[in-house]
Amino acid sequence: MKVKINGEVRDYRTVWMEGSEVNLIDQRKLPHKFEIYKSRNYKETSMAIKEMIVRGAPAIGSAAAFAMAQAALKFNERDMEKFRKYMTGVEKFIKTRRPTAYDLFYALSFMKEKIENADSVNEAKEIAKIESKNYANEIAENCKRIGELGEKLIEDNSKILTHCNAGALCSVDYGTALSPIRFAHYNGKNIHVFVDETRPRFQGSKLTAWELSQEGISHSIIVDNAAGYFMQKGEINLVIVGADRITKNFDVINKIGTYEKAVIAKENGIPFYVAAPKSTFDFNIKSGKEIIIEERSQDEILFIDGIRIAPENSKARNPGFDITPRKYITGIITEKRILK
Ligand code: MRU
């Protein structure tokens, strides 16, 4: 992803590892400050997942893969059995950081499988280092492919709605839903993006709008409740969102508010696409009903920037995600093909 710092444009990934340190673009600070959070061990990387320094399904997965590598590198005994036990504990710990995005679980199983085949602790450490990097590289490559394939769905002069942040910040690079949008822009198509601000954490207005600004892609931020209005007026002609988990029956779990957007899109005859790599597909689960939806702190709703906006005795409910049934989805853009 291109980032302009002091007038200079540089390419950044959202998460990467150098030595035993994991670097993360600190997403809590954007759009006002561009800072890299440097995590020294798996506990700090796990904290970064929980505190949403890194967020978005594929980025969480990549951070988890690097956390496993960090844990392996810190182990300083030679007994392989002890090592396996220790890594199982680490995996269990990381798993509990955020419950909904499947990529977290996918990345942990991927790493565990690779490490388990080692004959010695030293070999396991080497494998962990290499495979965590391979994992992140593959995510970036898959998101690029999603962009190249999905771009074909975007006609010149399209006005596209997106929800939450499904950009490079949510993956390692390119993004999921934002990847086709990026490629349409790179290919010279005239496009405009409607960005849902995405209450309560504002991933749209803080992160998606920042990414689009960095690349000079035309966009307008809208409040979450305005999408229906613009659809009815014919100002939106395509919707692309990401996913945190896709179940066997193709229910899509994504940021709270996605379901409503899908229903209004159908009502207005507007195509509704989901963009996701294979690491988001959970075919162990039959439908969205079986998913644990993260319920976050009510303070995210009751306060804005530390200032209470609701009456002292009011309470709030704050589910992070919702479930969009398959019948509202026109297609799913994967790295291999577009599933209709
Ligand atoms: O709570 P977040 O910010 O981690 O939620 C992220 C989303 O819901 C994204 O839309 C999702 O991960 C899709 S992009 C891969």
Closest atom of ligand 1 to CA, residue 276: 15
Residue where a domain stops, chosen among 145, 164, 198 = 145
pLDDT of 117:
84
Both tokens of residue 98?
Answer: 């955020």
Residues 288 and 334 in one domain: yes
Q: In this structure, what CATH number is given to the domain that contains residue 6?
A: 1.20.120.420
For residue 302, give the amino acid letter.
Answer: L
Secondary structure of the chain: what % helix, strand, coil (to 5)?
A: 45, 20, 35
pLDDT of 5:
85
Residues 113 and 239 in one domain: no
Residues 14 and 139 in one domain: yes
Q: Is the whole-model pTM more than 0.85?
A: yes
For residue 201, give the amino acid letter.
Answer: R
Task: Say if ligand 1 is within 6 A of residue 98 CB.
Answer: no
Residues 151 and 65 in one domain: no
Out of 53, 255, 291, mutate this one to test ligand 1's pocket (max ligand atoms within 8 Å of CB): namely: 255
Cα 35 from chain centre: 19
The protein residue whose alpha carbon is closest to atom 8 in ligand 1 is: 255
Residue pLDDT tens, the chain, 340 long: 999 888 899 999 999 999 999 999 999 999 999 999 999 999 999 999 999 999 999 999 999 999 999 999 999 999 999 999 999 999 999 999 999 999 999 999 999 999 988 999 999 999 999 999 999 999 999 999 999 999 999 999 999 999 999 999 999 999 999 999 999 999 999 999 999 999 999 999 999 999 999 999 999 999 999 999 999 999 999 999 999 999 999 999 999 999 999 999 999 999 999 999 999 999 999 999 999 899 999 999 999 989 999 999 999 999 999 999 999 999 999 999 999 9
Residues 126 and 182 in one domain: no
Residues 78 and 44 in one domain: yes
Compute the C-alpha angle 32/38/40, nearest 5°.
160
Sheet holding 21-25, edge to edge: 15-18, 21-25, 36-39
Report, in angstroms and rounded to the nearest whole number, the Rg of the chain calculated over CA atoms: 20
The answer to whether the CB of 130 falls within 8 A of the CB of 124 is no
- Active centre residues (catalytic): 244
Residue where a domain stops, chosen among 145, 177, 202 = 145
Diameter of the chain measured on Cα atoms: 66
Residues 76 and 87 in one domain: yes
Task: Say if ligand 1 is within 6 A of residue 244 CB.
Answer: yes
Residues 152 and 255 in one domain: yes
pLDDT of 144:
98
Task: Say if ligand 1 is within 6 A of residue 322 CB.
Answer: no
For residue 49, give the amino acid letter.
Answer: I
Closest atom of ligand 1 to CA, residue 98: 4
Residues 68 and 126 in one domain: yes
Closest atom of ligand 1 to CA, residue 294: 1
The domain of 100 spans 2-145
Closest alpha carbon to 3 in 211, 219, 174? 211
For residue 134, report the phi and psi dihedrals to the nearest 5 degrees. Answer: -60, -40
Chain position carrying tokens 């307008």: 220
The protein residue whose alpha carbon is closest to atom 5 in ligand 1 is: 56
Rounded Cα gap, residues 39 and 47, in angstroms? 9
Q: How far is the CA of 255 from the centre of ligand 1 (A)?
A: 6
Out of 24, 164, 205, 318, mutate this one to test ligand 1's pocket (max ligand atoms within 8 Å of CB): namely: 164
Residue where a domain stops, chosen among 120, 145, 170 = 145
Q: In this structure, what CATH number is given to the domain that contains residue 207?
A: 3.40.50.10470
Domain count of the fold of the chain: 2
Residues 162 and 78 in one domain: no
Task: Say if ligand 1 is within 6 A of residue 57 CB.
Answer: yes
Q: Encode burial over 227-250: b for 16+ CB neighbours within 10 A, e otherwise.
A: bbebbeeeebbbbbbbbbbbbeeb
Residues 190 and 261 in one domain: yes
Q: How far is the CA of 53 from the centre of ligand 1 (A)?
A: 13
Both tokens of residue 93?
Answer: 């710990």
Residues 137 and 281 in one domain: no
Q: How far is the CA of 152 from the centre of ligand 1 (A)?
A: 23
